[in-house]
Homo-oligomer: A and B are copies of this chain.
Amino acid sequence: MKTKNSRTEGSRYYPKRYDFDPNSRNAILDEGLVCHVSFLVDNQPFIIPTSYCRVDDTIYLHGSVGSHFFMQMAKGIPVCVAVTHVDGLVLARSVFHHSMNYRSVVTFGKTRLVETEEERWLAAEKFTEHVIPGRWEEARQPNKSELKKTMFIAVEIEEASVKYRAHGVVDDEEDLGMGIWSGVIPLKLAPQQIESDEAGIANVKMPDYVKNYQR
């Protein structure tokens, strides 16, 4: 499904780097841990990096009920939400053809304060499962007071544009024989040595969804 318009029009220089398939959009959104949310206050653009999750065409954000930024968003304002994955460094022989492999989604929508308890509960569950599947059922779920302290904001995705680069080195023919090493260093957000919390840990095993965590 290719839908183009003023906010999500592809570049005439790199048409191959755009993808308007909602499945591509969802895959990138579902892999990310942090999004960047942009909005205006008094004509000044602001960005907040924050965690999120997606349910169908809705992105959920959450923050403290006292947060200045979230209070702005509770009013219902236009925002742009972007998620980017850096997949690798592309080292060409010429500096000019150096590049990065990446996947990014830029979405546009309007914020809406989540008001019903049902949708807040849904968002809380999806947030947890978005970050680490399996955790919601095992962890101690929120009580009413905790849920009250959290503000959930929904952003209905009105438009989205996906951009990516996912290939090797492209060099000018005449540079190939220069004897300069060239190639791709793939990059991945990878789990490191896991640190168990020491308190009350006797007889508590590390669950498989933690041990085998991969993004």
Contact = CB atoms under 8 A, between A and B. Distances in A.
Given A47-B106, A200-B177, A200-B178, A189 B186 contact: no
Interface string A54-97: 00000000001011100000000011111010101101111110
- Number of identical protomers: 2
Secondary structure at the A interface, as helix, strand, loop or mixed, is mixed
Interface in A1-59: 7, 9, 11-13, 33-34, 36, 38-40, 43-49, 51
Given A47-B82, A181-B204, A185-B192, 20 more contacts: A9-B68, A11-B64, A12-B66, A34-B86, A38-B38, A38-B47, A45-B45, A47-B81, A86-B189, A89-B131, A95-B142, A96-B143, A100-B131, A138-B180, A181-B205, A181-B210, A183-B197, A183-B206, A183-B210, A187-B191
Interface of A: 7, 9, 11-13, 33-34, 36, 38-40, 43-49, 51, 64, 66-68, 78-82, 84, 86, 88-89, 91-96, 98, 100, 102, 104, 106, 108, 124, 128, 131-132, 135-136, 138-143, 146, 149-150, 168-169, 171, 175-197, 199-201, 203-207, 210, 213, 215
